[in-house]
Amino acid sequence: MRNIRLILAYDGTDFRGWQRQPGAPTIQGCLEDALRKLTGAPTSVCGSGRTDAGVHAEHQVANFHTESSIPCANFLKALNDLLPPTVRIKRAEEVPADFHARYHVLRKTYRYRIATAAVCSPLLCRYVCHHPYPLDRARMTVAAQLLEGEHDFTSFAAADENEDGDEKSCVRRIFRSRILWRPMSSILIYEVTGKGFLRYMVRNIVGTLLEVGGGKRAPEDISDILAARDRSCAGPTAPAQGLCLVNVEYAE
């Protein structure tokens, strides 16, 4: 039995997220359907995490086990022929039998893009949150840095459910949390790297940071929100289309 790792990218706009759902278009579902057509056998695909409906990925990682002898280079070409153009396999490679795309993750990086111009380009609208209001980036930077380290992120969770399938704890370690600015395109980016993330966690953080940037909250409020462990204390959930999984790292 071979273990094949896939690196893939996708536009999540037309999908109901990563995880297969009956009667709904999902990334996992279309991958498994393509592999069934290709190998002639039912195949289960495991992803590094379950991105939500409308969320994108530049670098998602998945793996599957197969008895097929198809070379990896042929898997890449054939899968891209079968998948919709909004899902692309960037690399296919054989890995050790015990590799697991989710359980072996060391860290993931997400970016949330916010278009601050008065008018949002129609070429960007599927991939950004349009927020044409003044934002104090310095205040947002201070607030973002307060999220670094190990904290209980219950206040930024959604219904005690998380992306990584572990509902016992909302404690997560954030290695980096920062604000980036792209003046040429008037794009503000929130970038966060962590071991794992609760469901809606990044989008709930962004909604709160937007309130900080707009003057509705002080940067120091982040510490109080974390300590409260109460979702109602944080800001609203930012729209899905601004969020993208940009990297997944493993020990090798």
Q: Which of 11, 52, 164, 221 is flagged as catalytic?
A: 52
Q: Give the residues across from 89 on adjacent strands.
A: 8
Q: Annotate 155-173 with DSSP letters as a single string.
A: GG-BTTBBTTS--S--EEE
C-alpha closest to that of 150 among 168, 172, 169: 172
Question: Who contacts 168 (Cβ-Cβ below 8 Å, separation ≥6)?
Answer: none
Q: How far apart are CA 169 and CA 186, in angstroms?
A: 37
Q: Give the residues across from 129 on adjacent strands.
A: 114
Instruction: Say which DSSP state 11 is in.
Output: -
Q: Are 242 and 166 in contact (CB under 8 A)?
A: no
How far is the first Cα of the chain from the last one, in angstroms, to the nearest whole number? 22
Q: Annotate 16-75 with DSSP letters as a single string.
A: S-SS-BTTB--HHHHHHHHHHHHHSS----EESS-PPTT-EEEEEEEEEEE-----HHHH
Q: Is 52 a catalytic residue?
A: yes
Q: What is the dihedral of CA 3, 7, 9, 12, to 10 degrees?
A: 40
Q: Which residues are catalytic?
A: 52
